[in-house]
A and B are shown apart, each in its own frame.
Chain A
Amino acid sequence: MIARVETWPLWRRVALVALALSGVIGWMVADRIRLLRTGTEVVLNIRPIDPRDLFRGHYVRLFYPEISMIPPAGLTGLPATRAPNAIALRKGARIYVVLAPTDGPYWRRARAGLRPPQTIPPGHVLLIGRAGRAVRHLQPALPVTYGIERYYAPQARARALERRLAGRTARTAVILRVSPSGRAAIAGLMLDGKRLLEEPLF
């Protein structure tokens, strides 16, 4: 097959490469649009550590107090190790988090484990993350990432947001769209319970 490919017309080969590479980019975009359109809406608090510097650069790092740090003791299915400093969980391992709605607009973590939950209660949502570092015994909390830790903000919008956040104890939240398979996309920002920014689909 490798030998035969050079006998194909050149234009066909160029078109195939163009199609494949564009297909990858197109798939990335289509996947996000589908997720934003059809995913379940979830609102999670974020903690602006220093609002004045929130939009330094072109993105802001988002820290979700409910799900970004999970104590290993709160993880179900963590394998026991004999050695005191041995690895129980490698960096990048999948973490399955179940989110539950509350009386207010914000969601909370109901459960976190290393295996997919057998059942997800109605109204709850599954979110899949990855261990941010290897887990050893006696570790107070495990950082978990979900691919939603960066919010890229246009400069003008960032400045406006910065002004609204500066010097106040605003309750900032991120609106997510979560697919049934546990992947999440940022759909917007919320400030003091009010929708501030909505991400366009396209």
Chain B
Amino acid sequence: MRERMNSDDIRRRVDAWVENGWVVAAHRDDILRDLRGGVTEAPGGSRLARAVVMLGALLIAAGLLSFIAANWQDMSRPLRLALLMGGMIGALALSGWLRGHGRRAWASEAALLLALAVFGAAIMLVAQMYHIHGHYPDALLTWGLGALLAAWLLESPSALMLAMLGIVGWSAAQAGQFGIHPHWPFLLPWAAALLLAAGRRWRHALHAVMAAFFLWLTINLLIGPVRSFNHGKVAAGPFLFLLLVPQAAFLLGATLRAAARARIGDIGRVLFTQGAVIWPLMVMFSDNVASHGLVRMAPLTDMALPAIAAAAFAMIAALSWLALANGRLRPGDVALTLLIALATIVIALRLLPDTIWPFVISAAATLALAAWLLMLGLREGRRLPVWAGALAFAIEVIYVYVRLIGGLLHTALFFFIGGLLLVALAAGMRWLAARRERAA
């Protein structure tokens, strides 16, 4: 497994390199900044402590505002506004002061989060003061854009993550509740956030930005249509696209993560990570949605569906080939990914009659994918695919058990096959470890 280092470890290592003369002292700060991937990870406190402080700042903001709101009626409107503005500007000034004086960057981030929380609450409370009960997604957008501006000007990854929350909330409300889907306007602030996170090399913020995109796709292609149009059904074409996007992201990420350009590599790693987590979930979820009759199939004479299926498979094949050509995947890996893509198409488009087979294929594809992710992670010494594979395996096993429960024969079959799979997996892992030992 790759060694995991925190900010202090990194600083100690780089200082040692400077002492040994391996690194020019003038470049020490640049190297530290690059390794930490952002200004937030300045020395001081563990990662967990910093996260707790951030959450604490948000809770303090919530507490203060609840207190103010509870005694709101006793205050005059100018006093209310002064409190809100004062709190917001005060927290901003504190954040700037902490940053300017080289104090703990995470404390400065916490103060900024406090300011942004007060900004969000101020929008809500001013609406309350003047009895405004408007189109509430607009308020979420305003809050998100304010946080995005703060993230850009004050170089704050936490503010960017908060901005994504507001912007996704806005888009989700527009698509899921007000029936505006696809909600294209989301892509504008999202692209700005992507440019900022990738440009500044903020790893966690980049994860939030990519997760927001997957969420947007899911809301627009699945939840929105199911909630409002077509008698609560999603069209088969967009549904298939939604199912294959995480696989495409994984394969693209596998190729890009070793790119020479650091920023492209960052995006590749995020795509690879999120694809590894979401892909197996999508494969297991495909049969569940399709079998509940939530997918609206086009008439058989409609040639659009076969064309979409062919295009989707071609996309996965092209990305697999790219990963193969770049040495990121092996021929066996590519064969498996293509098989899983094929299985996904068969399930999503209901190419098999409504028997037990779509469920069996979905379960087999998910378990195979989970096992493959596990082995890929072990082979490459990467922790995330191992965890993603193990998690997917566990969830699928529970799901299969719940689906089959009721008949003793089915349950026996389930345990028998599950046991065989686990034994095969253990044997595969043992074989890989032995081969690595021999190679060493």
Contact = CB atoms under 8 A, between A and B. Distances in A.
Interface stretch (B127-135, B340-348, B384-392): B127-135
A5 B151 CA distance: 11
Nearest to A6: B155
Interface stretch (A14-22, A66-74, A119-127): A14-22
Contacts of B84: 25
B199 A3 contact: yes
Interface in A78-116: 85, 87, 90-92
B199 A92 contact: no
A17 B228 contact: no
Contacts of A11: 96, 100
Contacts of A2: 152, 195-196, 199-200
Interface in A147-202: 147-152, 154-157, 185-186, 199-200, 202
A16 B153 CA distance: 8
A6 B201 CA distance: 14
B6 interface: no
A24 interface: yes
Give the dominant DSSP class at A's interface: mixed
A134 interface: yes
* Interface footprint category on B: 35 or more
Contacts of A154: 72-73
A93 to B, nearest CB: 9
A37 B309 CA distance: 60
Interface stretch (B48-56, B172-180, B358-366): B172-180
A197 to B, nearest CB: 11
B149 interface: yes
Interface in A125-157: 130, 134, 145, 147-152, 154-157
Contact of B179 (A91, A145, A147, A185): A91
A152 B179 contact: no
A13 interface: yes
Contacts of A10: 96, 99-100
A28 interface: yes
Q: By CB atoms of chain B within 10 A, which of A6, A21, A28 has the most? A: A21
B85 A25 contact: yes
Contacts of B129: 152
B66 to A, nearest CB: 12
A147 B131 CA distance: 8
A17 B131 contact: no
Contact of A21 (B88, B96, B231): B88
B378 interface: no
A142 to B, nearest CB: 14
A6 B88 CA distance: 22
B115 interface: yes
B123 interface: yes
* Most chain A CB neighbours (cut-off 10 Å) among B92, B99, B195: B92
A5 B95 CA distance: 17
Contact of A32 (B130, B133, B231): B130
B92 A18 contact: yes
Contacts of A85: 231
Nearest to B231: A85
Nearest to B92: A18
Nearest to B153: A13
A174 to B, nearest CB: 9
A69 B229 CA distance: 22
Interface in A40-57: none
Contacts of B100: 10-11
B179 A25 contact: no
A200 to B, nearest CB: 7
A25 B154 contact: no
B179 A17 contact: no
Contacts of A28: 123, 126-127, 130, 132
A186 B231 CA distance: 38
A2 B151 CA distance: 11
Contact of B146 (A21, A91, A134): A21
Interface of A: 2-3, 5-6, 8, 10-11, 13-14, 16-18, 20-22, 24-25, 28-29, 32, 58-59, 85, 87, 90-92, 130, 134, 145, 147-152, 154-157, 185-186, 199-200, 202
Given A21-B92, A91-B228, A155-B73, 9 more contacts: A3-B199, A11-B100, A17-B92, A18-B88, A21-B149, A25-B81, A92-B177, A92-B180, A151-B131
Q: Would you list the 7 A-B pairs with minimal beta carbon distance, nearest first?
A: A154-B73, A14-B96, A92-B178, A147-B134, A90-B179, A150-B133, A32-B130
22 contacts: A5-B152, A5-B153, A6-B155, A13-B96, A13-B153, A18-B89, A21-B115, A25-B84, A25-B85, A25-B119, A90-B179, A90-B180, A91-B178, A92-B178, A145-B133, A147-B134, A150-B131, A152-B129, A156-B73, A186-B130, A199-B130, A202-B78
